[in-house]
Amino acid sequence: MIGKFTKFRAAWLRIGRSLFTSAVAVAVMLAALATVPAQSEEYRLGTMDKLRIRVVEWQTAEGAVRDWPSISGDYTVGPSGNISLPFVGEMPAIGKTTSEIADVISEELQQKFGLLDRPHSSVELAEFRPVFISGDVQTPGKYPYAPDLTVLKAVSLAGGMRRAADAGQRIERDFINARGNYDVLIAERNGLLAKRARLIAEAAGQEEIEFPKELQETAEGRKLIADETAFKEARETRLRVQLSAIEDLKSLLQNEVASLEKKITSQNRQMELSRNELKGIGNLADQGLVVNARVLSIERAIAELEGKVLDMETAALRAKQDISKATQNATTLQNDRDAEVAQERQAAEAEIEKLNLKIAMYRDLMAEAMAQDPQAALGTGGDAAPAVSFSIVREEGENTKEMAADENTPVLPGDVIKVGISPIPAN
C-alpha cells in the first residue's frame, strides 16, 4: 500500500512540475510581448520605467507552488538607474532588458536563501518612462509613453500648437497681412536685384550677367533672369544699331569729302589751263590779232571755275564738320548710356535698401505673431504658413544627441521632443 502511494505521489509531482513549467513559459512569453514596444530590437530599461515583478517558487518536496508576496509588486527605476527589492537590495536596471532583470532576481534569491529549486521571476513593463514635449505647443510637459508613438501623436497629447487665449483671429489676420506685404516686397526686391545685376554687367561691358544665387533657385527668379537678359540684349542691339548708323553716315561723308577733293583738283587743273590759254592770247589781243570777245570768254570760264571750286571747298568743309558732329554724337550717345546705367543702378541700390528695411519690419511682425500664437499663424495655410520644425533629444548610453525629425518619426520612451516654428528667412 505504501509503495502504491509513493508511485502515485511521484506521478503527481511530475505532472505538477510540467504544468508549472508550462505556466511560467507562457507568463514569460506574454511578459516579453508586453514589454517590446514598436521598435524591432528588445527594449532597454531607463530611468522612470515602472516594472511589475512577480516571483514564484516550485517546492519539490511539498509538490506545490509558493508565491513571494514580499517581493512581488511594482518598482520604478530610480535616478541612479537601480531598483531596490527586498532580500535582493539595490540592483542595476538601466540599459537592461526585462528578461535580464528576471534572471538576476531568480539567481540572487536562490543564492541568498540556498534554495534547491530556483525561483521563477516574471518581470513586465507596467509603464514606460514618459516623454517630454517642449517648445511651441499648447501644454508643454511630461506625458506617458504609448507604443507606436510618433511625433505627431506626441504633439497631439500636448494639445497641438500653442494658441493665444483670446486673440487668435486677430493674430491670424495680422500675420496674413504681414505675410502678404512681405511677399510683395520680396518680389519687388528680387526684380531690383535682377535689374542691378544687369546694370553692373552693362557698366562693366560684360557679356554674361552674374545674377544672385537666390534668384537661380526659384521659377520666379529664373523668369526675372530671362527677362533682364533679354532686356540687356535689346538695349545693346539698339545702341549698336545707333552707333552703326552714325558710322555709316561718317563713311558716306568721308566718301563725299574724297569725291569733292578730286573734283576740286580737276577744277583747279582746268583753271590752270584756262589761265595759260589767257596768258597766251593776251599779247595777241594787245596787238589786235585776237578779238576781245575771246579774251572775255576765257576770263568768264576762269571765274566760273573759281566759283565752283569755292562751292566744292565749302561743301567739303561742311561734310568734314558733319563727320566731326557724327563722331561727337557717337561719343555723346555712349556717354549718355553710361550715365543712364549709373543713375539707374544708384536708384536701384537706394530702392533695395528701402525694401530691405520694410522686409525686416514685416518679418519682425510675422515673428511676433508666431511667438504669440503659432497655431494662428499655421492656420493661414498655403505658402503663407510658416514651417514647423521638430527635433528629438535622445539619450544613447552616456551620450545625448539631438536629431531632426518629422511628424511620422517614431518616438522612444524618455525622448524629449522639441517643437518650433521655423523663422522667416532673412533673404
Distance, CA of 231 to CA of 240 (rounded, Å): 14
What is the SS3 string spanning 170-218? HHHHHHHHHHHHHHHHHHHHHHHHHHHHHHHHHHHCCCCCCCCHHHHCC
Q: Domain 49-129: what homologous superfamily?
A: wza like domain (3.30.1950.10)
- Name the residue with higher pLDDT: 17 or 331: 331
What are the tens digits of pLDDT across the range 102-117? Answer: 999 999 888 888 888 8
Q: For position 272, what pLDDT does the model report?
A: 86
Specify the fold of 171-377. Answer: Helix Hairpins (1.10.287)
Q: For position 39, what pLDDT does the model report?
A: 44
Same fold for the pair 49-129 and 171-377: no
pLDDT(13) > 60: no
pLDDT(133) > 90: yes
Q: How far, in Å, are 163, 254, 262 from residue 137 at the CA level?
A: 8, 83, 96
Which of the residue ranges 97-101, 105-109, 295-299 would you say has the lowest mean pLDDT?
295-299
- Name the residue with higher pLDDT: 424 or 354: 354
Q: Given 1.10.290.10, 3.40.250.10, 3.90.550.10, 3.10.560.10, which CATH number is that of 132-162+385-422?
A: 3.10.560.10
- pLDDT class of 38 with cuts at 50, 70, 90: very low
Torsion, Cα 167 169 170 173, to 10 degrees, reads: 150
Q: For position 203, what pLDDT does the model report?
A: 92
Instruction: Give 349-356's long-range contacts (Cβ < 8 A, gap of 24+).
Output: 349/196, 351/192, 352/189, 352/192, 352/193, 352/196, 355/185, 355/188, 355/189, 355/192, 356/189
Q: For position 351, what pLDDT does the model report?
A: 95
Listed by start position, the domains of the chain span 49-129, 132-162+385-422, 171-377
- Alpha carbons within 13 angstroms on the beta-carbon side of residue 118 total 13
Which of the residue ranges 5-19, 265-279, 342-356, 366-380 would you say has the lowest mean pLDDT?
5-19
